[in-house]
A and B are shown apart, each in its own frame.
Chain A
Amino acid sequence: MKEQFIVEYKEVAGLFELHNMFLNTMQDVVKNNGNPVELADMAFALREMSKLFKDMEKDTRILGELAEKMACLKWMVAGGDEDNIKTDYCTATPDMKHIAAIPKREKDPEAFAALMKHFNIPESAFPGEDEDIVRPHWPGVVSALSKAMQEGKPLPKGIDPTKTYPHYRLTIRKRKDIDS
């Protein structure tokens, strides 16, 4: 593993420990404080801290997802026979789903109707406006597309093949602690 990532992991783990200690200590300080001004400031400070952590989590997750996607792409291009990527720290198994843009009824009613027909949905179930009983559920469509791809079946009618793309994820199993 790259040294920067080991160092950063240790930094974050250290901060996590320190912050947990701070929160535990402050439980009593908050509970036993009768000053509304001080309590409002504490609430404000904790809310701001929470925002920082959320931002940090989001940015960390996004970079992690990019690393997952890149790992899958490079693993595919490497063209090996192995089903997974083994490192000293983890075993990562690439997983791919097929994502597609669902045609919008307003912009492309023909494609939308073709898609619904493909899934055997009668027209009476989607007359439009507030009378629709059935609408495409995106995760369900993604799952159906992925199944079709696995079985070598063509894309459902109405799905534009040029507006499809694979979604790459890694299932990661830990083999060794980063700070071990």
Chain B
Amino acid sequence: MAKSKKNEAAQAAKKVEETLPAVVTPKTGAIAALPAHLQEDAGVGLEDMQQFIRPARVKVIQKTASDLLLEDFRVGDLVLMPNKVVVAEIAADERGRSKEEGAPFFFVPLFFYAEWLTVNPFQMRTSLPMIRDRTIDPNSQLRAKCNNQNLWYEACPENPEFKIRNVEALNFVCLILHNEQLENIPVILSFQRGEHRTGTMFLSSIKMRKAAIFGNVFQAHSQYRPDAGKGDWYGIEVENPSEESGVSPFVLEPEQYAKFKAMHAELKAAHEKGLILADYEDETEEAEVGDSKGEF
């Protein structure tokens, strides 16, 4: 990267840091605790890493999740990753199994972007990373492959017996509302594969409202997908706020709106520089587990 471009990217990242809460670009806050001779060079060598924004991601706990997650959460719970904070729980029925619909949470979508991924076969997980390639370039060859159903699957170069998968992910950077623990923490809702349709439905709901993306409020809950052919699979259902909730579908306070607008602008600038990094490694791995079992 040229020095000027690097500076530009660093400045954009700094601006985002100023607007977005610390959780987006985590800081240790421990500089003072360093020995005096280390304080002067604190963070040197990590500049490139700090440029990236890694919003936490709302994950639906699936039955294919790791044992560690299943120990702490119920299938169908919505959990913020990697923080492992519950966003919305799902109740159990009388037999102790998760109900079909989880509790709702409310959020403002701040920014939308699509990302295109190539996912390695689950069977190659010990030798290859889960995400083989990723791009936000709409003119890329990978995007063209994701948009052509005939090119979704390709032979894995390292082992042609297995297939790599080209996937379009619809990502919404959102702010969760009415939750003291999670308020002001931008999170990512990512829709891909079987949930891609939900993502396009959500996109069209936003477009139908005519308001700017960050002026809208939605509610979401985890939802059992009986027709998905995936066994006990849960997805995220996004809706307009229910009447019972009393939550307005639009951001009503001008000050709050101005804040969300500024956050949108910063996220947009960061996205243009490729600085938003969604981490969906485990999500992709679970989907691959399902694929490898022939469940969906």
Contact = CB atoms under 8 A, between A and B. Distances in A.
B208 A150 contact: yes
Contacts of B203: 76-77
Interface stretch (B1-9, B91-99, B154-162, B241-249): B241-249
A115 to B, nearest CB: 15
A148 B217 CA distance: 14
B249 A79 contact: no
Interface stretch (A25-33, A49-57, A58-66, A160-168): A160-168
A79 B112 contact: yes
B170 interface: yes
B205 interface: yes
B239 A149 contact: no
A76 B208 CA distance: 11
Given A153-B240, A162-B223, A165-B201, A98 B114 contact: no
Interface string B214-247: 0011000001000000000000010111110000
Contacts of A161: 237, 239
A149 B138 contact: no
Given A154-B242, A162-B223, A79 B113 contact: yes
B204 interface: yes
Using C-beta atoms within 8 Å of the partner chain, give the interface range for chain B. Answer: 20 to 34
A150 B209 contact: yes
Interface in B243-293: 243, 248-250
Nearest to A78: B138
Contacts of A166: 200-201, 204-205, 208
Nearest to B205: A149
A155 B200 contact: no
A161 B205 CA distance: 12
A150 B249 CA distance: 10
Nearest to A150: B208
Contacts of A76: 200, 203-204, 207
A77 to B, nearest CB: 5
Given A165-B201, A166-B201, A154 B241 contact: yes
B243 A154 contact: yes
A151 B217 CA distance: 11
A75 B223 CA distance: 28
Residue of A78, A150, A165 most packed against chain B (CB within 10 A): A150
B250 to A, nearest CB: 6
A149 to B, nearest CB: 5
Contacts of A149: 205, 208-209, 240
B168 interface: yes
A121 interface: no
B210 interface: yes
A80 B182 CA distance: 29
A96 interface: yes
A94 B210 CA distance: 12
A76 B112 CA distance: 10
A150 B207 CA distance: 9
Nearest to A73: B200
Given A78-B138, A79-B114, A161-B237, A152 B204 contact: no
15 contacts: A73-B200, A78-B138, A79-B112, A96-B204, A96-B207, A96-B208, A149-B208, A152-B216, A152-B241, A153-B243, A153-B249, A154-B239, A155-B240, A166-B205, A168-B204
Given A98-B208, A150-B210, A154-B242, 20 more contacts: A76-B204, A77-B168, A78-B138, A96-B204, A96-B207, A149-B205, A150-B208, A152-B241, A152-B248, A152-B250, A153-B240, A153-B243, A154-B241, A154-B243, A155-B240, A161-B237, A161-B239, A162-B223, A162-B237, A165-B201
Q: Which 3 A-B pairs have the closest CB atoms?
A: A152-B249, A166-B204, A76-B203
Interface of B: 112-114, 138, 147, 168, 170, 200-201, 203-205, 207-210, 216-217, 223, 237, 239-243, 248-250
Interface of A: 73-74, 76-79, 94, 96, 98, 146, 148-155, 161-162, 164-166, 168
